[in-house]
Amino acid sequence: MGILSGNLKDEPMHYGEIFSVWQASTVAKGAVSCYQAYLNHAGDKDLKKILDIKQRWRLKNVIHCSLITVLLPYL
């Protein structure tokens, strides 16, 4: 299990890959907070449903990014 063994599953993530995952997670967290602010000020029920769907989708992105950075080294 060397760094350059040829099997991508055995190799660690590169600094650039980790930074990209972290950046995507940060953007998704910012979007979640924006959608929450929009939900707090929205009055239309249909708009609230759309914003809720978008917020849940972004929360899934945050969870996926967190799992990649935490669990990937152990797989």
Q: Where are the domains of the chain?
A: 16-74
Query: In one letter, which amino acid is 25?
Result: S
- Local structure of residue 14 (DSSP, 8 states): P
**pLDDT in the model for residue 1:** 45
Low-confidence spans in the chain with pLDDT less than 70: 1-11, 72-75
